[in-house]
Structure formats: C-alpha cells, structure tokens
Amino acid sequence: MELEGKSRHELLNIIDRLERQLSEMKDRSDRVASSEEALRLDEARLEALLKLTLMADASEPEIADFALEEAVRLTRSEVGWMGALNEDDTVVLLYNFSSEARKECEVTGKPHSFIVKDGGVWAEPIFTKKPIILNDYPAPHYRKKGFPEGHIPLKRFLAIPVFDGPRVVAVAEVGNKNTDYDRSDVRQLTLLMSGVWRIILNKRAKDALMESKSQAELYVDLMGHDINNMNQVALGFLELAIEKLDKDGKLETADRYLLEKPIDTLNNSARLIKNVKKLQSAREGGLKRRMVDACAMLASVVGEYSDIPGRDITIHYTPSEGCYVMANDLLRDVFSNIVGNSVKHSPADRTLEIWVSVLKVRAEGVDHYTIFFEDNGPGISDMKKAEIFGRLEKKSRRSIISGLGLGLVKTLVDDYGGKVWAEDRVRGDYTQGTRFVVMLPAAR
C-alpha cells in the first residue's frame, strides 16, 4: 500500500480501515474457534451417550455415575451432583456425586436427600423449570439457604431441570468452572441429561418387561403344576379311603391318615393361592403403606409360634409398644416367615429357642427400629446366606407354599425402605444358629 504523499486524514482513514479488517478477522477467527469447540463438545457428548447405550448390564446408579462424570467434563467443572424427585415431587433424592465432590465434601453423613421447599438455589430449576447460572455464587440471592457444615465452597454454579414430558423428574448440577458458565454449558448439560434420562427410562421399561415375563411364568408354573400335583395327591388318598370303605364298610383309627393327608394337601394348596395373591399385590403396589405398630405385630407372631403341637419351642420376647413404622399388613407375614423359617429348619426332636428383641437406632440421620430374630437351630452356611434372599424364581417356588419366602421378605422390606440380612448367632460358627436382622425406618 502506497502511503507516501498521503495526508494525515487519509492515513487515519487507512489505519481505521485496517483496524476494522483486523477486528473482523479476529471475530471470524473467534467464531471458527467457538464453532470448533462447540463441535468438539457435541462429539464428546454424543460419544458419551453412545457409551451409555452400550452399558446394557450396568445398574441405574452406575449409569448416573458415568453420566455425571461426563457432565463435569463437558462443562469443564470441578464438581457435580444429581438427584431424582420422589413420586409427589417433595423430596430430591441425591443418589450420586462426582468423584471430586465425594473426595472434597466433608458434610457429616453426606445427606442423600433434601426437601424441595427448603432446597434453596439447588431447587430453583424445579420451581422455575429453567436452568440457573450463578457465576458469582457468594453474591446474595433470594433463594439461598446457606451450606451445611463441611460443604464444598462454590465459586460458580449451574443447575438444569431434567424433564419427562412436562414434569421435572430430576436435577443435574455442576460447579466451580474456572471461567463463567454460559449458554453452551446449559445446552451441553441439558442435552446430555435428557439423553441419559431416556436411556434410564428405556432400561426401566426393559427391566419391567423382563420382570413381568418372569412373574407370569412363575405364576403359571405354580398354579398349573404345583396345584395340579397337590390335587392329584389329595385325590389319590381319597380314592384309597373310598376303596377301604367299599371293601370293609368302615375306616379304622389307623386309616385316619387317608383323610388327614388330603386335608393337609388341600390346606397347602389354599395357602399357595393365598400367598400368590399376596405376592402379586405386593409387586403391583396394591397394599399401600401406612403407620403400623411393628411391636404389636411381633407380639402376635410370637404368640402364634409359642404353642405348636408336638414341638418344644421357647420364644424369649419382652413386648414393647409404639414401634411405629411405615408398612402394611404384610409386615406381619415378614415376621411370621422369619420365625417360621427357624421352626421349619430345626430338628423336631430338639428344644428350639428363639430370641426376639427390638432396638431403636439412628442411621444416616434417620431413626430406625432394628428387630433381631436369633435361634439355636442348625444355622445357615455362608454360601446359603448369599442365596436365601434371592429373587423368587421357579427353583425357589416351594418357599411360597409354606410362607411368603425369604425372597419376597426382602422385596417387602426393601419396599418399606428398610434392610434385612442373615448372620451367624455366634460369630464365625454358623452351626450355633442364625440371627436374622430387619431394619425399618421409624415413622415420622
């Protein structure tokens, strides 16, 4: 460019034009860099979703853990957490934290839930159904409620709602990016978590279908095979009784078994039908939870098993009152099945002692009633302990005939929000008897 002989005004115009050209070139370069970064993040998100679709055998928490780590990476954050709302949208269950958050967070007990109305800015996406960005987290905000002691300090914060149709079903939140969060971060986090939720829904649908298929096969097998066999047994004994009457014109005392056996068999058949109905009702949520007195149910079960004809059984239990938990009428069957299990598997020619006790404890910030059932029976080996609470399958269907079965006991206790397990009464020596432990949250 020839500058010689140019006036000052002309030179200033040239400089201004060059500056504009440089600025335009810089803008184009920034847009290209921004497009390339957006493309890179899109590719990373799609790659993460592809990996998630291949995690067919992973559990829901494992899927959520992987997704959260990807969310932290895509938004270039340091920490993250996510949670799902309960059925009535009042509580967020914080079921996972990013690995860095787990390392740095020192909140006592690591809370696993918060009440939505008290959730502060963490619950803002639920109320507004919109993302929230706070790039100066320490600045005042009308929804802030403060931190629990030991919480990770936050400098920047981004939270988005996750939808299932019009309803917010979960929240995903990240924090402490080195630079400000922007719309690109909102977009990546929203698209990732929406994809994750669809994957979780698909997994739930497949699991429910498999569960329904398995249960249908179980019921058909129980009702078609077992009851038919029982009826055949009962008919066989009754036919023998009729033959005896035709031949001798009467039945002797020694022939009582010809009537007693079919009565027992038909009672077992009726019990099977009743318990299958209970099983189905429990699976479908047909029995709603309400406040029940676990101690009163225990006293009833203890009374039932304390006087069994032909057995020498002593049950040690000091009745208590007011052990209220959220359960339903099947809780009695849970207790009955555990005590009945001790009776069933102990030698009939030996004195059986059972000790039942209740202890109120606090775990994870919640009061629980822990119920112990101890016996001096033959015990359960460690290998069998790992199997007794297995799912109700064809190979274990016989347990339903004599009671609910320990598989369904676990299903029910899980549904009550509790835990159940078996251990040695004498540590390290299973032959000295078994201790069953049922732990249920106290009603509030």
Parallel, antiparallel, or unpaired: how do β-strands 324-327 and 113-115 relate? unpaired
**Domain of residue 442, CATH code:** 3.30.565.10
pLDDT-derived band at 225 (thresholds 50, 70, 90) equals low
- 223 against 443, higher pLDDT: 443
Residue 272 has pLDDT above 80, yes or no: no
**Domain of residue 162, CATH code:** 3.30.450.40
Query: What are the residue ranges of helices labelled H in 5-142?
Result: 8-53, 60-74, 99-104, 124-128
Pair 97, 80: CB distance under 8 Å: yes
Query: 7-16, 134-143, 424-433 — which is least confidently predicted?
Result: 7-16
Q: Are residues 138 and 282 in the same domain?
A: no
Q: Are residues 332 and 426 in the same domain?
A: yes
Q: Are residues 246 and 394 in the same domain?
A: no
Look at residue 27 and tell me if it is in a domain.
no
Q: Are residues 171 and 118 in the same domain?
A: yes
pLDDT tens figures, 47-74: 766 676 667 677 777 888 888 888 888 8
Distance of alpha carbon 64 from alpha carbon 52, whole angstroms = 9
Q: Are residues 73 and 143 in the same domain?
A: yes
Q: What would the mean pLDDT of 293-299 be, rounded to a whole number?
A: 93
pLDDT tens figures, 77-112: 888 888 888 877 777 776 677 777 766 665 544 445
The SS3 assignment for 278 reads: helix
Q: Are residues 278 and 399 in the same domain?
A: no
Distance of alpha carbon 304 from alpha carbon 296, whole angstroms = 13
Q: Are residues 435 and 371 in the same domain?
A: yes
Look at residue 28 and tell me if it is in a domain.
no
Q: Are residues 311 and 427 in the same domain?
A: yes
Query: What are the residue ranges of helices labelled H in 130-221?
Result: 183-221
Q: Are residues 143 and 235 in the same domain?
A: no
Look at residue 25 and tell me if it is in a domain.
no
The SS3 assignment for 386 reads: coil
- CB atoms < 10 A from the CB of 141, how many? 15
Spatial CA neighbour of 330 closest among 373, 386, 279, 399: 279
pLDDT-derived band at 17 (thresholds 50, 70, 90) equals confident
Backbone angles phi, psi at 98, to 5 degrees: -65, 160
Pair 193, 169: CB distance under 8 Å: no
> H/E element holding 360?
strand 352-363
Burial degree of 249 (CB within 10 A; 0-12, 13-18, 19+) = exposed
Q: What would the mean pLDDT of 4-23 be, rounded to a whole number?
A: 70
| Residue at which a domain ends, from 161, 181, 201 | 181
Q: Are residues 326 and 259 in the same domain?
A: no
| Residue at which a domain ends, from 286, 301, 317 | 286
Look at residue 350 and tell me if it is in a domain.
yes
Distance of alpha carbon 414 from alpha carbon 331, whole angstroms = 12
- CB atoms < 10 A from the CB of 272, how many? 20
pLDDT at 356: 94
Look at residue 396 and tell me if it is in a domain.
yes
What is the Cα gyration radius of the chain?
33
> H/E element holding 421?
strand 419-426
The SS3 assignment for 172 reads: strand
Query: 138-147, 181-190, 242-251, 317-326 — which is least confidently predicted?
Result: 138-147
pLDDT-derived band at 119 (thresholds 50, 70, 90) equals confident
Query: What are the residue ranges of helices labelled H in 249-353?
Result: 257-283, 294-305, 330-344
Residue 331 has pLDDT above 60, yes or no: yes
Q: How many residues does the chain have?
A: 444
pLDDT-derived band at 16 (thresholds 50, 70, 90) equals confident
Distance of alpha carbon 330 from alpha carbon 413, whole angstroms = 10
Look at residue 61 and tell me if it is in a domain.
yes
Distance of alpha carbon 280 from alpha carbon 287, whole angstroms = 10
Look at residue 392 and tell me if it is in a domain.
yes
Number of separate domains in the chain: 3
Pair 369, 358: CB distance under 8 Å: yes
| Residue at which a domain ends, from 286, 316, 340 | 286
Look at residue 280 and tell me if it is in a domain.
yes
Greatest Cα-to-Cα distance within the chain, rounded to the nearest angstrom: 144
Q: Are residues 300 and 334 in the same domain?
A: yes
Domain with 255 in it: 209-286
SS percent in the chain: helix, strand, coil, step 5: 50, 20, 30
Q: Are residues 363 and 260 in the same domain?
A: no
Residue 401 has pLDDT above 50, yes or no: no
